[in-house]
Amino acid sequence: MKLRISVAWATIACSWLLPAMHVLAGETDDKLRIVVFGAHPDDAQYKAGGTAAKWAKHGHHVKLVSVTNGDVGHWQSAGGPLAQRRLAEVQKADAVIGATTQVLDIHDGELVPSLENRLKIIRIIREWKADIVIAHRPWDYHPDHRYVGVLMQDAAFMVTVPFVCPDVPPLKKNPVFLYSSDGFKKPYPFTADIAVSVDDVFDLKLTAIHEMPSQH
């Protein structure tokens, strides 16, 4: 079983393979810091749970972020109770993987690529001091998925600009930005620049996914 991810800027496709290449000033260890953005509480876990588990096993620091709270993502329930349920589920799943959890309080189905949301993404990337950032491609059929990709693209350069979000120190170096895989053919079919085997952690990923019963 392989999880395929595609690189936003192919010229830096393999730099994440070198430990400590992007270590930022002030860090206390030489481990990588990775943040994965998914549109809903389960997307990052399904898309990158295996690679996240591999990174975590090697001692790297991984955060899985849900950009919406998932409060309409169920056939029978919705609203605050569902959002709380899905938060609890991804917290359990991420504990299995060995990742940190963050869920933003944005309504499911209502994400827009606004300046306010761009600044939220910039702050998360900076606060995590990310070396690697992964998100959906901006050609997804689901507007929430698509706009996560747009927001990541819009934040990509700005994370190094000092007077954008001056309340959070800018990054000294740009992270490596990656796309998670999808099956969409238009306008640009997915082509992987990096393929990561998750055979050795696939059972662990399945265990994590089983902690999210509202989604399966």
CATH code for position 157: 3.40.50.10320
Residue 170 lies in a domain: yes
Mean pLDDT, residues 151-158: 97
Q: Exposure string (b/e) for 89-126, b if CB count within 10 Å is 16 or more?
A: bbeebbebbbbbbbbbebebeebebeeebbbbbbebbb
Mean predicted confidence (pLDDT) in 113-131: 98
pLDDT at 22 over 50: no
Is 109 within a domain? yes
Which stretch of 11-25, 31-45, 48-62 has the lowest confidence by average pLDDT?
11-25
Which tokens hold the place of 209? 């996914």
* pLDDT score of 16 more than 80: no
User: Is residue 169 in some structural domain?
Assistant: yes
Instruction: Confirm whether 18 is domain-assigned.
Output: no
Domain that holds residue 181: 1-8+66-85+99-185+192-199
> The pTM is what?
0.87
- Can you state the angle between helices 202-209 and 43-57, rounded to 10 degrees? 140
pLDDT band at 6 (very low <50, low <70, confident <90, very high): very low
* The total number of structural domains that make up the chain: 1
Cα Rg of the chain, angstroms: 16
Average pLDDT, the chain: 89
Residue 80: inside a domain: yes
Which strands sit side by side in the sheet containing 176-180, from one edge to the other?
100-103, 61-66, 33-38, 132-135, 176-180, 2-7, 194-197
